[in-house]
């Protein structure tokens, strides 16, 4: 039986959702064809594209943009829509927090 989770007033210092993928979940066609609209710097594109092929294989690793020191996204301002749409205290949030409790991160 899982323990009830506290209601979060902020995502600050959590990062549980960052542990659900190994690479930021940009749609690859949009990332390549519309990088200016997403404001993704070339350096970050070069970091993401090689990892794209193996993103499902590294599901045990947190997102490569995750910063364990701050428990936040290193590039939060340009995080993908999937991350922006991840609502605090939603069922998806709760599932990630149950699977990746702070003590295990």
**Predicted pLDDT of residue 89:** 92
| CA 86 to chain CA centroid, nearest Å | 9
Assigned domain for 74 exists: yes
Assigned domain for 30 exists: yes
Assigned domain for 42 exists: yes
**Predicted pLDDT of residue 79:** 81
**Predicted pLDDT of residue 1:** 46
Assigned domain for 1 exists: no
Assigned domain for 5 exists: no
pLDDT in tens, the chain (105 residues): 456 888 999 888 899 988 887 777 666 555 556 555 566 777 777 777 666 555 555 556 788 888 989 888 888 888 877 787 778 999 888 888 998 887 666
- Domain hosting 97: range is 16-104
Assigned domain for 9 exists: no
pTM for the whole structure: 0.64
Q: Centre a 10 Å sphere on the Cβ of residue 65 and count the other Cβ atoms it contains.
A: 21
**Predicted pLDDT of residue 46:** 73
**Predicted pLDDT of residue 9:** 92
Assigned domain for 62 exists: yes
Number of domains in the chain: 1
């Amino acid at each position: 039986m899982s323990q009830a989770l506290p209601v979060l007033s902020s995502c600050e210092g959590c990062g549980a959702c960052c542990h659900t993928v190994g690479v930021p979940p940009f749609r690859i066609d949009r990332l390549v064809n519309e990088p200016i609209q997403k404001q993704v710097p070339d350096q970050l594109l070069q970091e993401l594209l090689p990892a794209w092929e193996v993103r499902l294989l590294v599901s045990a690793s947190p997102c490569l943009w995750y910063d364990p020191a701050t428990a936040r996204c290193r590039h939060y301002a340009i995080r993908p829509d999937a991350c922006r749409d991840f609502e605090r205290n939603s069922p998806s949030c709760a599932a990630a927090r149950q699977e990746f409790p702070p003590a295990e991160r």
